Chain A
Amino acid sequence: MAKELFFIIVGSVFVNNFVLSRFLGQCPFLGVSGKTETAVGMGMATTFVLTMTAVAAYFLQNYVLAPFGLEPFLQIVSFILVIASLVQLVEMVVLKISPALYNAFGIFLPLITTNCIVMGAALLIPMNNYNLIKSIALGLGAGIGFTLALALMSGIREDLEFADVPEALRGPAIVFITAGLLSMIFMGFTGLVPLG
């Protein structure tokens, strides 16, 4: 069990990194990776929401969708519903408990609603028949993987500011190339643990 959990976490952080191997969540990956500070903030907020969503998705799948046979056509709709309300709830809770954290997250918190990593992780849970603990591990791993990708990218982009980039490649172009190279580097993790 512990070994399996380890594989799920390491798998979702490195081998099947949600951003760099599964190519999910490209929008925040390129959008908020300009500064390390905000990138890490976004990563933390997403990790939090992902873990919560994993729990919600597990219960929704096993206690509502599967028993009534609604899986094939209502899965995505109901997950969107749950994620959206969850983010709303998280926003309220964070504002109540820690206004400082709320200010640090800023606009990123509501933006996570439309982050497809959250949706992807939620959909992977029924696909792999994970139990509750494994679901949480997947959510956590996906979040850490996303944070890692964002932190790496923002670090590179901060240095890129001072690099002598050819005129034609300046701006988004070089960022896309960097993202591609990063993704190729992450391919090196293939075989580290059995895919799963």
Chain B
Amino acid sequence: MMANSILTSILSMGGLGLVLGGGLALASKKLAVETDPRADAIVEALPGANCGACGYPGCSGLAKSITENKAPVNACPVGGASVAEKIAKIMGVTDIGSTDDKKIARVLCQGGKSEAKVKSEYHGIKTCKAASMVNSGPKSCSFACIGFGDCVKVCPVDAITLEDNGLPVIDEGKCTGCGLCVKECPKMVLALTSNKNEVHVRCRATMKGKDTRAVCNIGCIACKLCEKVCPFDAIHVKNNVAAIDYEKCRNCMLCVEKCPTKSITSAFAARKKAVIVEEKCIGCTICAKNCPVNAITGELKKVHVVNQDLCIGCGICQEKCRKDAIEMVRNGHEKLDECSACAASK
């Protein structure tokens, strides 16, 4: 009896297992959904953040579209050139297209806790979305960043942090330009701009200058000084707020220097400087004639010199030079500064 029940249980369970296992094996063959092996390989190559910056539903969605030739191999803005290269290899194409025009999210408000006045104390749900619905936010300026960090929460790559002043700071190295924070921000103080643009007007307040000054001491007061100083006609005051034409802007940062309220910012330390390669310069004076700030001096047929203190790094001279004798160097000036700074500290 005992042996019998052991036997029957082994047989029935074994049989059940066999039937079910065999059935599943058969089903997996019959019901197999054909997937493009290249799509799997592309998913492997993609960053896998599923951020949706490409406009497709996640990395697998993009991979599928690439295999169907509906999306270019460089469609992933996050992965950049290295990922595009890998995908191009998988797809068997050689042309990876341009990938260097990466977009980065910028914070277009500097009205932190100490700069922008507060009109009311807010005790509701701690999200920017909720707070913006109550009397258009707790800050006196209705364009100001609310500072509860909705953008920080939505960022898939942790590129945004809230500083003590209550404003978000974007880590440009980490930012993938997916634009999720731009969509999330109820005050629209975030915007995507090309990584080539270094100068930004960080104020969106369209009130009259006087009214802006009353609520925030770092906002644009529409004084038009930037408009006057710009050698390239790239910045204009529209609707009581300065706006940069990024097509024309050459990152010369003159407006940043001039702005009385400091509402225009740039990475000042990273300003480019023109340097003349002495071996190549033939002294044609073209650069000196074209320099908008007269920073280049030199006599005809003699090597010219760029006055590093005057040079604004606009790059016009480099474009005009027919002998490729001018290089734009980043931090060239900073190095000099460093030495004088360390000398001063000693």
In the docked arrangement, what's the CA distance between A93 and B31, Å? 7
**Which residues of chain A are near B13, meaning CB under 8 Å?**
74, 77-78, 81
Size bin of chain A's contact surface: 20 to 34
Using Cβ atoms and an 8 Å threshold, which residues of chain A touch B5?
A: 69-70
The smallest beta-carbon distance between B126 and chain A, in angstroms, is: 11
Q: When A and B form their complex, what is the total count of cross-chain residue pairs whose Cβ atoms lie within 8 Å?
A: 47
Question: Which chain B residue lies CB-closest to A65?
Answer: B12
Q: Which of A4-12, A82-90, A174-182, A186-194 contacts B (4 or more CB under 8 A)?
A: A82-90
A96 to B34, CA, bound (A): 10
Known contacts A88-B24, A162-B125; A99/B12 CB under 8 A = no
Stretch of B15-23, B78-86, B111-119, B218-226 with 4 or more beta carbons under 8 angstroms from chain A: B15-23
**Complex Cα gap A64–B28 (Å):** 25
Contacts of A165 on B, CB cut-off 8 Å? none
Q: Are A92 and B31 touching (Cβ within 8 A)? A: yes
Q: Shortest distance in angstroms between B10's beta carbon and chain A's nearest beta carbon?
A: 10
Contacts of A74 in B (CB 8 A): 9, 12-13
Main secondary structure of the interface of A (DSSP, over half): helix
A65 to B16, CA, bound (A): 11
Verify B20–A82 contact, CB threshold 8 A: yes
Assuming A89-B23, A89-B27, is B16 touching A81 (CB within 8 A)?
A: yes
A192 to B21, CA, bound (A): 44
CA distance A68 to B15 in the complex (A): 13
Are A78 and B16 closer than 8 Å at their CB atoms?
yes
Which B residues are in CB contact (< 8 Å) with A85?
Answer: 20-21, 23-24
* B31 touches which of A64, A73, A95, A99 (Cβ 8 Å): A95
Restricting to B23-41, which residues have a CB under 8 Å from any CB of A? 23-24, 27-28, 31, 33
Distance A73 CA – B21 CA, assembled complex (angstroms): 22
**What is the CB-to-nearest-CB distance from A58 to chain B, in angstroms, rounded to a whole number?**
15
Contacts of B12 in A (CB 8 A): 64-65, 68, 70, 74, 78
Q: Which residue of B lies closest to A64 (CB)?
A: B12
Question: How far apart sit A64 and B9, CA to CA, in the bound complex (Å)?
Answer: 10
Asked if residues B31 and A70 are in contact (CB atoms below 8 Å), the reply is: no
What is the bound-complex CA distance between A83 and B169, given in angstroms? 51
CB distance from B205 to the nearest CB of A (A): 31
Q: How far is the CA of A99 from the CA of B35 in the complex (A)?
A: 12
Interface of chain B residues 236 through 262 with chain A (CB within 8 A): none
* Least Cβ–Cβ distance between B320 and chain A, in angstroms: 57
Shortest beta-carbon distance from B290 to chain A in Å: 59
* B8 within 8 Å of A (CB atoms): yes
Can you list 10 pairs linking A and B with CB atoms under 8 Å apart? A69-B5, A70-B8, A73-B9, A78-B13, A82-B16, A85-B21, A85-B23, A85-B24, A88-B24, A95-B33
